[in-house]
Amino acid sequence: MHFKITLLFVFLVFVSCRKKPVDELENETTVTWEKGFVVLNEGLFQQNNSTLTKYTEGGVYQSEYFQKIAGKPLGDTGNDMQVYGNKIYIVVNVSSSIEVIDRITGKYIKQIPMLWNGQAKQPRYITFSGSKAYVSCFDGFVDVIDTSALTVSKRIKIGNNPEQMVVSNGNLFIANSGGLNFPNLDSTVSVINLVTEVETQKITVGLNPGALKITAEGRIIVHSRGDFSNVEGRLVEINSTNYQTTILPINNFKAFETFHNQLFIAREDINAIGIWDLNLNLYTMPAFIETQNLTTFYGIQHDAINQKIYVFDANGYVNTGKVIQYNESGSQGFVFNSGLIPNRIYEIK
């Protein structure tokens, strides 16, 4: 009898002490964030001043939230922040790392170093499919990350200085900018089969492709930025099945964002954000959001889940930035100061 009790005790101790995977630990906790927002502030290149600011519904502002939860600065040039499953992933370009936070509790989980043979990979953007994350790296690769182990499992060689990515029809599409090789810019979008994890195609879209997004109905749009002097930027639609391209008849724009099955276009000609209908090929609302009062327009983000729109003002790049919220009807909501060069926001529900 005592022998059986001893065996049971040893078994219970072993089970309770065994190391648990990250996802299991996350699901055990019952602590939650206060409702509000977290904003990724890019900071200045090589100044090591990227920050994560946090706001609560009660109006409490924390300018160094990442420092609080991780006990260290965020790093140099926070380039992207995306949410997948129960984790928030922050891509820190110049520091060459990815910082991971628990989406439910706001607690710091882990840093994923992005180095190859001691050299910085310079990660740019992150996207996801199944149990894997895909990170575009300026050294010409896409890194594959296991979202449970939070480690790099593979590197896939593609084009020069890749930027944004989307997943469609079992493939990963990546814009190859060639931006660090100026004036020898790239002009392609790589296609990686997500089963074989091999590049299968390069699609020519025009000089210096950067922003690459997908609409709710699966239409892929890429911004080929040109050379900023002789070759103008343009928006190109890619057919995700046959890889045919179509140049959209849109001129005088700074940036774009998908808006359900339409596009937001940040227009230069009238200082406004218009809504472009992809089927009609025209502006259905030419001046949906006015931008003439912004100091330095830096981007627009659509939160389709919470039906919110956010416009970022970099305020001259050296001053405290600003975030302006709108609903999907274009009515302005809150306006608040952020950190240096805000570029992504996540709403804590």
Rounded (10°) CA dihedral 278, 279, 280, 282: 0
Among 28-32, 110-114, 245-249, 256-260, the minimum mean pLDDT is found in: 28-32
Residue with tokens 């179509």: 246
Evaluate whether 64 touches 54 at the Cβ level (below 8 Å).
no
Nearest CA to 283 out of 258, 265, 261, 299 is that of 265
Query: Greater confidence, 29 or 156?
Result: 156
Residue 3's pLDDT band (boundaries 50, 70, 90)? Answer: very low
Residue 60 is predicted with a pLDDT of 85
> How far apart are the C-alpha atoms of 134 and 163, rounded to whole Å?
12
21-48 CB burial, b ≥16 within 10 A, e <16: ebeeebeeeeeebeebbbbbbbbeeeee
3-state helix, strand, coil in the chain (%, to 5): 10, 50, 40
Q: Is the pLDDT of residue 301 over 50?
A: yes
**pLDDT tens sequence across 66-81:** 999 999 999 999 999 9
Residue 32 is predicted with a pLDDT of 67
In the predicted model, what is the mean pLDDT of the chain?
A: 91
Alpha carbon 181 to chain centroid distance?
23
Query: Greater confidence, 228 or 123?
Result: 123
Prediction pTM value:
0.90
Mean pLDDT of 151-155: 98
Residue 31 is predicted with a pLDDT of 43
Query: Greater confidence, 24 or 325?
Result: 325
Q: Judge if the upstream peptide bond of residue 183 is cis by omega within 30 degrees of 0.
A: yes
Strands 220-224 and 209-214, sheet pairing: antiparallel
Query: Greater confidence, 181 or 5?
Result: 181
**pLDDT tens sequence across 330-343:** 999 999 899 999 99
Q: Is the pLDDT of residue 4 over 80?
A: no
> How far apart are the C-alpha atoms of 73 and 193, rounded to whole Å?
37
Nearest CA to 74 out of 340, 321, 348 is that of 340
Mean pLDDT of 91-104: 97
**pLDDT tens sequence across 195-245:** 999 999 999 999 999 999 999 999 999 999 999 899 999 999 999 999 999
**pLDDT tens sequence across 10-69:** 333 333 343 344 343 333 334 468 899 999 999 999 999 999 999 987 788 899 999 999
